[in-house]
A = this chain, B = another copy of it.
Amino acid sequence: MGDRAAKDALFDAFAEVARALASGRRAEIVDVLAQGERSVEQIAAEIDQRVANTSHHLRAMARAGVLRTRREGTRIVYMLASERIGDMWAAMRDVAAEHVAGINELADAYVGDRSALEPVSRRELEARLKAGDVVVLDVRPAVEYAAGHIPGARSVPVSDLRRLRSLAKDTEIVAYCRGPYCVYADEAVRQLRRRGFAAKRLEDGYPEWKRAGLPIAVGAGQ
C-alpha cells in the first residue's frame, strides 16, 4: 500500500479520462454528443473527418469510459457515458475560456464578430419567459429539439428560418442553439435582424440550460 507504482497506476487511470478529450477532434465529438446520441457516420460528418478515423477515436473514447454504444439495426449509436462527461467538458471549456491565451481570437475567427448580437443570460431569459414578453426560438436541427428543449421554445432550424412568417415585427426574439461556440443562433439573429425583427441570442445554449437545473421539455411538440 502507498507504494509509488500503485500511485502511478491510479493517477495514470485518472489521466486516461483527460486523454480521451485531449485532441481537438475528440473534443468536437463530445460537443456533438452533448446534444444527443449519434451514429458513427453522423459524427464523422459533423467533425469533418473520415469515418475510419472517427471510428478509431470513438472506440478509444469508449475504451476510456467516456462513451457508451448501442446497436440500432445495422448502425452503432454512440452517446456520452453519463451527464458527468458533459459537466467535465463544460469545466474544461470554461477553464480554456478563462486561461488559454488567444482563445478569444480563435473563437472570433470561428464564430465571427459577435459584438452586435447582445447575448442574453440564462437568468434574464428565465425571467422574461416567466413574464411572457419574448418569443424563444430553438434553431438547432429538429431531432435535437425533440431530444430536449427549453419549455415554450419553438423549433425553427436555421435552414427553415426563411419560411418563418407568423411573427409580429414588434415581439422580441431570443434564439438559442448548442452552446456558446455554436454558430446557428448567430446566423439566425443576423438573418432575423435583416428582416427587421428585434432578435438576440442566448449567451450559451441548451446543454448549459439543462446543466443549470432549469426546467426542460422533451418531444416533437409545437
Asked if A107 CB lies within 8 Å of chain B CBs, one says yes
CA distance A7 to B84 in the complex (A): 24
Asked if A112 CB lies within 8 Å of chain B CBs, one says yes
Given the known interface contacts A19-B22, A48-B4, the answer about A65 and B96 at a Cβ–Cβ threshold of 8 Å is yes
Once the chains bind, are B96 and A16 in contact (CB under 8 Å)? yes
CA distance A2 to B103 in the complex (A): 15
CA distance A66 to B96 in the complex (A): 9
Once the chains bind, are B100 and A16 in contact (CB under 8 Å)? yes
Interface size on A, residues (CB 8 A): 57
| Residues on B with beta carbons closer than 8 Å to the beta carbon of A11 | 24-25, 27-28, 31
Once the chains bind, are A110 and B1 in contact (CB under 8 Å)? yes
| Interface members, chain A 76-104 (any B CB < 8 Å) | 81-82, 84-85, 87-88, 91-96, 98-103
Asked if A209 CB lies within 8 Å of chain B CBs, one says no
Given the known interface contacts A15-B22, A24-B15, A93-B14, the answer about A82 and B111 at a Cβ–Cβ threshold of 8 Å is no
Least CB separation from A48: chain B residue: B4
- Stoichiometry, as copies per complex, reads 2
Least CB separation from A94: chain B residue: B84
| Interface members, chain A 21-39 (any B CB < 8 Å) | 21-28, 31
CA distance A99 to B199 in the complex (A): 42
| Residues on B with beta carbons closer than 8 Å to the beta carbon of A7 | 28, 48, 110
CA distance A19 to B20 in the complex (A): 9
Asked if A167 CB lies within 8 Å of chain B CBs, one says no
| Residues on B with beta carbons closer than 8 Å to the beta carbon of A28 | 7, 11
CA distance A8 to B100 in the complex (A): 16
In the assembled complex, the CB of A155 is this many whole angstroms from the nearest CB of chain B, namely 22
| Residues on B with beta carbons closer than 8 Å to the beta carbon of A27 | 11, 14-15, 18
Show 25 residue pairs from A and B whose CB-CB distance is below 8 angstroms, ordered by the A residue. Answer: A7-B28, A9-B24, A10-B110, A11-B27, A13-B103, A14-B24, A14-B93, A14-B100, A15-B23, A17-B96, A17-B100, A18-B21, A18-B22, A18-B27, A18-B92, A19-B22, A22-B22, A64-B100, A65-B101, A81-B98, A85-B95, A87-B91, A88-B88, A88-B92, A88-B94
